[in-house]
Structure 1
Amino acid sequence: MDERPDEFDYVVVGGGSAGCVVASRLSEDPKVRVCLLEAGGEGRNVLIKAPLGFTVGMPRGINSWNYSTVPQSGFNGRRGFQPRGKALGGSSTINAMIYARGHRSDFDTWAELGNPGWGYDDVLPFFKRSECNAIHRDSPYHGVDGPLHVTNLRSPSPLNDVFLEACQSQGIPFNPDYNGEQHHGCYHVQVTQKDGERHSVAAAFIHPNLDRPNLDVRTKAHTTKVNFDGRRAVSVTYQRDGETRTVRARREIVMSAGAYGTPQILMASGVGPGAHLQSLGITPVLDVPGVGQNLQDHISALLIYRALVADGMVSITPKGIASLLKAMWTWRRHRTGLITSCAAESGVYYRTDPSVEVSDMEMELIVGIGDDHGRKIHYGPGYSAHLLLARPKSVGEVRLASPDTNVDPLIDPKYFSHPYDMETLVKGTQVALDIMNSPAFDRYRGDMLIRYDRDDPAQIERTLREHADTEYHPCGTAKMGPDSDPMAVVDAQLRVKGIDGLRVADASVMPCITSNNIHAPVIMIGERCAEFIEQSA
C-alpha cells in the first residue's frame, strides 16, 4: 500500500462497510483516482479471517475503537460498551457476520420522511448489486454476481434445530429467507462468509483490487479534519507514522467514518452545532445543528443458561477447551467445524402482541455463554439468547470531548429515555422466556445466570436496567432528510447541505434505524452513494 501523489479525484475517509464499497466502485473507472483513508490496519489477521475469532478479539478491543458511552441514567448510571471496527473493513471485521437487510417498511419509512429514491423497491437493486448469495440463487430478492459472499454456516450447531423447534412450538413459523418476501419468523442465519472464512467488506471490495493503479489505500491513517475553501471541502488532513499529512480532492470527499467517527470529524472540522463548536474553540465553517444528533441504537437483553448437555456449544471446561483446540486444527486444514461459527447461529423475528403488524423484536441464539459481551468468562457449558428491540424510540447524541479527534467523542445513546423501549423490551423478554422455557430445551436447560421472573414485569425491568446494553448498531448521527427538516445533515443524494464537494456514506445517514443488524443496509448505502457520484460526475 505505497503512497502516490497527494491529489485525487475522490478521497474517502473511513474504510468501513460503506467506505470500502464507495472506493471500490469509484475506482472501477480507470479515468478517476481514488484515495481511501483508514485509521486501522489492513484487516487480514487471523482473528478477522477465522469467523469465531471476533469472540476473542472484540471484547478485548482488538481491531476496535473500544468506545464506551457516558453514564446512562437508563442503566442506573452504568457506562455502555461500544466496540466499533478499526481495520480495513470497519465493523465487518468484528461483527457476527449476520446478513440481514431489514423489513420493507424500514426503507419505505425513509422515503416517506422526504427522501425520494430510498423506498424498498428503490434500494433492493443496490442490495442485490453487492451480493453473491449461495443459498437463494433463483430468488428475485437476491444477487449472485456481487463481490460479497452470503451463505449459510458450514458447520451449524445441533442446538439451532432445538431453538427453531422451540420457536415453532410458540406458533412462530419457520422462515427460509428473512431477506426475501417475508421478514417475520424463525430462521437459520445468513452470513458473510466465503470458503469457511469471514468475508469482510474489505475482503470483498478492496483486497482483490489493490493492484488497481488508480486506487490508493492508506491504512493506519487517522483523519483529523476536513479542510475547506469557503464552503467547499477541498482536502483531508490525517496523521500517519507520526507525521501530519494532507491529501486533496479535485471532485469530492466522502465521509464514511461511521456513526461516531463521521460526526466527530465533521464537528472537529467546523461543521456542526455552532454553539457546541465555539465552546471548544472551533470556528464554525457552517452551523449544522443535526450533526451528532439523532443517535439511535438497538437495545439488547441477554438470557444466559447453564447447560446440562454440552452438545454443539462453546464451553470453558477441560473437554470444551480440547474441542476448541481440535476445532482450530480442523479449521486450519479444512475451513470447517466450530471455528466457522458466527456464535449467533439462528434467530427469530417475533411480535410482542398479535395486534402488532410488523415484528417488533428479534432474538438470536448464541451457542455459548456470552455474558457482558464476552468480557465475563464462566466455567462450564451454556447457551444464551440475545434479544433486541427492533425499532427503539430513544434518541441520543454524539458530542466532542475535545477538538482533537484522537480523543474519544462523548457518546450518549440515552438508552430507555423513551418509555416505549422499556415497555416493549419487557414484553419481548416475556415472550423470549416462553420460547427458551419450551419443552424443546428441557434436555439442555440448567439454571439462568441472570434471573428473570416471567410473571413479574417490575423485576424484569430492574434486571434490564442492570444488564441491558448495545446490540452494536449505532446510526443516524448525520441523518438524511428534506430541506424542511432543520436537523437533516445530508440530502437524498447524501450531499452535506450547505457544503460543496462533501458527502456522507455510512450508518450516520439513516433517518431511523432498521429493524435488525445494520451491516447490510450500510453496504447498500455505499453502493447508492457511488452511483450518485458517478451520475453527477
Structure 2
Amino acid sequence: MTTAGASETFDYVIVGSGAAGAIVAARLSEDSGVSVCVLEAGGADWHPYLKLPAGFIKVIFNPERAWQFSSEPSARTAGRRIPLPQGKTLGGSTSINGLVYNRGQREDFDGWAARGNPGWSYDEVLPYFKRSETFVDGGDPALRGHSGRLKVTLPHWPHPVCEAFLQGAQEMGMPLNPDYNGPSQQGVGYFQRTIDQGWRVSTSAAFLRPAQRRSNLRVVTGAQVQRIQIANAMATGVEYVQAGVLRTIHARREVIVCAGAINTPKLLMLSGIGDGHRLRELGIETHAHLPGVGQHLKDHFSIRLVARVRNAVTINELARAPRLWGQAANWLRGKPNILALSPSVVHWFWQSQPGLPRPDLQGVFSPASYREGYVGMLDRFPGMTCGVWQHRPKSMGSVSLACANPWADPIVQPNYLDDEEDRQTLLRGVRIARALLQTQALAPFRESETMPGAQVQSDEEILDFIYRYGVSSYHVNGTARMGPRSDAGAVVDAQLRVHGVRNLRVVDASVMPEIPSANTCAATMMIGEKGAEMIRSAR
C-alpha cells in the first residue's frame, strides 16, 4: 500500500452513501456555501440488477455489491451462521434491499423520546418522514408526504392467490388496512414499496444523483475508510484506502458516519472510540471510553412457511422461460409484471395473543416460494410463502472487533431468540401464519404445506424448525444508540453527536435507541433527514 501526497479538505466528510448518508449529503449540499465529500467503499450503482426490483436476488449475496457479513453460530440458530448482507454501493442497502417502505408505530418513536432523547417523539419525527416521500397512491396528507423525492407506491399487480389470502385474513379478524403508514398499522393489505414505473428508487437515485450536479458535492467510490482522525477529543478527518493508496481527507466542520449498524461501530472502535479496556487489548489508542459502541445490536429474526399451490400460476413459474419473456415484455410496456415487484407482496400486522394493545408481529405473504424458505432460489413447483417475525425482540447482541486490522470482518453475534419471551412470541406467530395458510378462502389454491410440513405440530417441533430455518430480516440496528451522557450504554446524544468527541456524529440505524416495529429502512431515511437539519442548524 502506498501513501498519497497532499490531502484535501471539505467542510463535511460523510462516510457511507446509504439510506441516511445519501440524504445527509443531498441536504447539506443544498447550501452552496459549504463543501461536502461522501466516501463510499463500494462502487457506482450503474448495474441493471441494482435498478430492477427483481434484481435483488442477483446482488444481495454478491460481495461486489454487498458486505457479506454473517452472525456467529448459536444454539438458537442450530449452529448456523446467519447471513447479514449490507449494501456496498451508492445507495447502500437501499440499492439491494426488499424495497418495503414501513415506518413503524407511533409508540416506537414516543419510546425513543421517553428514553431521554428529546425531539424524537412520533409527532416530532413525522415531518421528516413526510419530507422524503411522495406516496403516489394517496394517503392522509396530514400523515403522508406528497412532494418528496422518494416515490412510494402500491404494487397494482392483481393475483388471485393474493386476493384469497387477503380474504382469508379478514375471515380471521384482521381488518383490511389500505395504509399501514397512516393512522394505524394493524391489519392486512398490500405492501408499499420504493418502486416507481418499474424501477427501484434507492436513496442514490432519489437524492444523491440529483445533488451531484452541484459543484460543492464530491462523491468518491471505492473508498474504504480505515480510521477517523481525532486530536484533542475532536474529529479532524478520516483516512481511507482507494485503489491500494492510503489517503487522508480533512473536515473543517464535521465528520459524519453513516456506514450502517455493523460498519459504523467497527469504524468507531478502530478509531479509538469504544470500550477502553478492549481497545487497549487490541493495541488501539483510546480517545473516548464508550462501552456502548457495538452493544445493543437488535434484528428481526424471521421464519417462512411454504405451501404448494394448485389452480394458479405463481411467481415460481412466471420467473422461468418462456413465461419470463412475457413478464419482461410487460415490464417494457409498463404493464403489471413480476420484475417490478418487491419480494413480499402482502403484509399482515397482528397481535401474537389477545389483549395486547398493538401488533407485536409482522407477517409477509407472496405467491412465490424459495427452496428451504431462504431467499435466493425459487422452488420448482407452484408455491406460496407466509412469513413472520417478532416486532420488538428483547434479545440483543453485539458487534466487536476480532483484531485491529481494518480489513478484517467484525464479530457479529445477535443472540437471536436468546430471550424466552422472544421464542414464545415467534412460536405463536408461526401458528398464526399456519392458520392464515389454512383459511377457507385459500382452500381452492392450497395443495399441501411443504415447510415445515404437517408432521411438525408440537411447540418443541416448531421451535426446532425455527432454529434450523430462521433467517435475518436484515434490520440490524442500535449499535451506537442514542441516549443522554448519564446512560452508560449511550454512544450519541439526541443531536447524534458522539459523546466525548467534538465534530463527530453518527447518522444511521446504529443510533436507534430501540428497534422499530417495522423494516428499518424508512426510519433510517427519517434519521438522515432529521440529522441533516440538526447539522445545518448547528452552523
Aligned partner of residue 308 in structure 2, secondary structure: strand
Higher mean Cα deviation, 9-18 or 54-63?
A: 54-63
Q: Which amino acid aligns with 1:503?
A: R
| Unpaired segments ≥5 residues, structure 2 | 1-5
Confirm or deny that 1:196 pairs with 2:198. Answer: yes
Offset, 1:385: 1.6
Residue number in structure 2 paired with 1:484? 486
Which stretch of structure 1 is more off in the superposition, 274-283 or 224-233? 274-283
- Identity across matched positions, percent: 39
Correspondence 1:188-267 to 2 at 5 A: 188-267=190-269
Aligned to 2:394: 393
Give the 3 Å change call, closer, same or farther, for CA 107–124 of structure 1 in structure 2.
Answer: same
1:514 and 2:527 are equivalent in the alignment: no
Q: Structure 1 residues 61, 436: closer, same or farther in 2, change over 3 A?
A: farther
Inter-partner Cα distance in structure 2 for 1:258 and 1:362: 23
How high is the TM-score relative to the length of structure 1? Answer: 0.96
- Structure 1 residues 496, 68: CA separation in 2 closer, same or farther (over 3 Å shift)? same
**Number of the residue aligned with 1:406:** 407
Contact 1:452 1:460 in 2 (8 A): no
Superposed, 1:8-407 pairs within 5 Å as 8-61=10-63, 63-136=65-138, 138-311=140-313, 313-315=314-316, 320-334=320-334, 336-370=336-370, 371-407=372-408
Paired residue type of 2:431: Q
1:14-33, Cα deviation, whole Å (9 max, x unpaired) = 10100001010000000000
Q: CA deviation at 1:156?
A: 4.5
**1:268-291 Cα shifts (integer Å, max 9, x gaps):** 111111122122221111111000
Q: Deviations over 1:407-457 (max 9, x none)?
A: 111110001111111010001111111111111221222333322567522
The one-letter amino acid of 2:448's match is: D
Counterpart check, 1:472 vs 2:474: yes
Once residues 405 and 170 of structure 1 are traced to their aligned partners in structure 2, the CA distance between those partners, rounded to angstroms, is 52
Name the counterpart of 1:531: 533
How many angstroms does 1:55 deviate by? 2.2
Letter in 2 for 1:265: L
Spell out, residue by residue over 1:106-153, the C-alpha distance to the aligned partner (whole angstroms, 9 max, x if none): 000001111111000010001001111111255210111111111111
Which is further off, 327-336 or 417-426? 327-336
| Residue pair 2:150, 2:206 contacting (<8 A) in 1 also | yes
Correspondence for 1:422:
423
Measure the CA separation in 2 of the matches of 1:327 and 1:62: 28
- SS of residue matched to 1:439: coil
Give the deviation of 1:210 after TM superposition. Answer: 1.3
**Preserved CA contact (<8 Å) 1:59 1:373:** no
Tell me by how many angstroms 1:213 deviates.
0.1
What is the distance in 2 between the residues matched to 1:123 and 1:286? Answer: 29
Aligned residue pairs total 532
Using the alignment, how far apart are the partners of 2:287 and 2:373 within structure 1? Answer: 41
Q: Residue 478 of structure 1: CA displacement? A: 0.2
Q: State the AA in 2 paired with 1:509.
A: V
Q: Which residue of 2 aligns with 1:431?
A: 432
Check the 8 A contact 1:156/1:341 in 2, yes or no: no
In structure 2, how many angstroms separate the alpha carbons of the residues matched to 1:96 and 1:256? 20
Deviation larger for 398-407 or 230-239: 398-407
Name the stretch that deviates more: 151-160 or 10-19: 151-160
Q: Aligned-pair distance for 1:99?
A: 0.6
CA distance in 2, matches of 1:62, 1:378: 26
1:369 positional shift: 1.1
Provide the C-alpha distance between the structure 1 equivalents of 2:450 and 2:401, rounded to a whole number of angstroms. 37
CA contact (8 A) 1:452 1:463 kept: no
**What SS is found at the alignment partner of 2:441?**
helix
Query: How many angstroms does 1:256 deviate by?
Result: 0.3
Q: Give 1:372 shift.
A: 4.9
Shift of 1:158: 3.5
Are 2:305 and 2:373, in contact at CA under 8 Å, matched by a contact in 1? Answer: no
Q: Distance in 2 between matches of 1:155 and 1:430?
A: 28
- Deviation (angstroms), 1:335: 6.8
CA displacement at 1:375 relative to structure 2? 3.6
Structure 2 vs 1, CA of residues 316 and 176 (structure 1 numbering), >3 Å: closer, same or farther?
A: closer
- Is the CA contact 1:187–1:346 (under 8 Å) kept in the aligned structure 2? yes
Q: Distance in 2 between the 1:89 and 1:235 partners? A: 22
Tell me how far apart the structure 1 counterparts of residues 158 and 244 of structure 2 sit (CA, whole Å): 45
Aligned-partner Cα distance in 2 for 1:72–1:374: 21
Report deviation, 1:163.
1.5
Answer whether contact 1:301 1:468 (CA < 8 A) is retained. Answer: yes
Change (3 A) 1:478 1:98: same
CA distance in 1, matches of 2:160, 2:265: 43
Letter of the structure 2 residue corresponding to residue 437 of structure 1:
Q
Contact 1:71 1:78 in 2 (8 A): yes
Residue 60 of structure 1, CA deviation: 4.4
Structure 2 CA distance for aligned equivalents of residues 62 and 369 of structure 1: 26
Using a 3 Å threshold, how does the CA distance of structure 1 residues 442 and 61 change in structure 2: closer, same or farther? farther
Asked if structure 2 preserves the Cα contact closer than 8 Å seen for 1:392 and 1:421, the reply is: yes
The one-letter code matched in structure 2 to 1:470 is S
Alpha-carbon distance change, 328 to 377 in structure 1, aligned in 2, over 3 angstroms: same
Alpha carbons 2:237, 2:248 under 8 Å: kept: yes
For residue 106 of structure 1, what is the amino acid of its counterpart? D
For structure 1, the 5+ residue unaligned runs are: none
What amino acid sits opposite 1:346 in the alignment? V
User: How far apart are the structure 2 equivalents of 1:532 and 1:129?
Assistant: 15
Q: Which amino acid is the alignment partner of residue 433 of structure 2?
A: A
State the Cα distance separating 1:228 from its structure 2 match.
Answer: 0.8
Q: CA deviation at 1:326?
A: 2.4
One-letter code of the match for 2:524? Answer: V
Mapped to 1, the partners of 2:12 and 2:67 lie a distance apart of 25
**1:86-121 C-alpha deviation (Å, 9 max, x unpaired):** 111111111111110000000000011111110000
TM-score, normalization: structure 2? 0.96
Equivalent position SS for 1:55: helix
Mapped to 1, the partners of 2:357 and 2:169 lie a distance apart of: 19
